[in-house]
Amino acid sequence: MPDRVLVLHGPNLNLLGTREPGIYGRTTLPEVDRMIRGHARGLRIDVECRQSNWEGQLVDWLQAAARERFSGVVINPGAFTHSSLALRDVIAAIDIPVVEVHLSNIHGREEFRRHSVIAAVARGQIAGFGPQSYLLGLDALVALVRGRRPRAAGRPARR
Ligand code: DQA
């Protein structure tokens, strides 16, 4: 069975395409999701993309992720990155790897964006590559998930 990966988009990412295009570009969220699904096919994983403006909804999805048989999560927490202890705590609580991604380079922006409360509990962070950040996040997550599992005996390593 192929690995299942959950991609979560946080608040205001549904506005991509028209939201501050000088910072976030003109690619819409459905277009980003299409790129993610295409990349997932190449990686031979199943991917599901969800967006919410609600912190509690994101917490619920993260709590349920392992139960729903996801092997890991790629999340762009949006502005919750900088403030949400509830998201931080749920990521610390669950037993599957989470990769944090951002379209913009949060470390080169306003002071308040330079600190992520998520970073310490995520397995890593990718920021600054536009929609490509999600694809790099998927690559990183898949490497983590596949590296965690012993290969079935007699099966050659995939190139
Ligand atoms: C963002 C960066 C956050 O600071 C901001 O609040 C967002 C988008 C990014 O993808 O660059 O909503 O997460």
What is the number of alpha carbons within 13 Å of residue 144 lying toward its C-beta?
19
Q: Is the CB of 79 under 6 A from ligand 1?
A: yes
pLDDT band at residue 150, thresholds of 50, 70 and 90? confident
Determine contact, residues 119/109, Cβ cutoff 8 Å. Answer: no
In this prediction, residues 15-30 reach a mean pLDDT of: 97
Q: What whole-number percentage of the chain has pLDDT above 90?
A: 91
Would the pLDDT of 13 be above 60? yes
pLDDT of residue 1: 82
Q: Which residues are catalytic?
A: 24, 102
26 alpha carbon – ligand 1 mean position (Å)? 15
1 alpha carbon – ligand 1 mean position (Å)? 33
Average pLDDT, the chain: 95
pTM, two decimals, is 0.94
Q: Give pLDDT tens digits for 79-104.
A: 999 999 999 999 999 999 999 999 99
Mutating to test ligand 1, I would choose from 20, 81, 129, 135 the residue with most ligand atoms within 8 A of its C-beta, which is: 81
Q: Can you list the alpha helix ranges (DSSP code H) found in the chain?
A: 21-24, 29-43, 55-64, 85-93, 132-148
Would the pLDDT of 55 be above 90? yes
Q: Is the CB of 81 under 6 A from ligand 1?
A: yes
Domains of the chain (ranges; CATH) run 4-145 (3.40.50.9100)
159 alpha carbon – ligand 1 mean position (Å)? 34
Would the pLDDT of 154 be above 80? no
Residues 159, 156: Cα–Cα separation, whole Å: 9
In this prediction, residues 117-128 reach a mean pLDDT of: 98
Q: Is the CB of 133 under 6 A from ligand 1?
A: no
Which residue is associated with the tokens 């549904």?
14
pLDDT band at residue 157, thresholds of 50, 70 and 90? low
Residues 16, 140: Cα–Cα separation, whole Å: 24
pLDDT band at residue 148, thresholds of 50, 70 and 90? confident
Ligand 1, atom 7, lies closest to the CA of 78
Residues 53, 102: Cα–Cα separation, whole Å: 16
pLDDT band at residue 155, thresholds of 50, 70 and 90? low
DSSP state of 28: -
CA angle 68, 72, 78 (to 5 degrees): 105
In this prediction, residues 29-45 reach a mean pLDDT of: 98
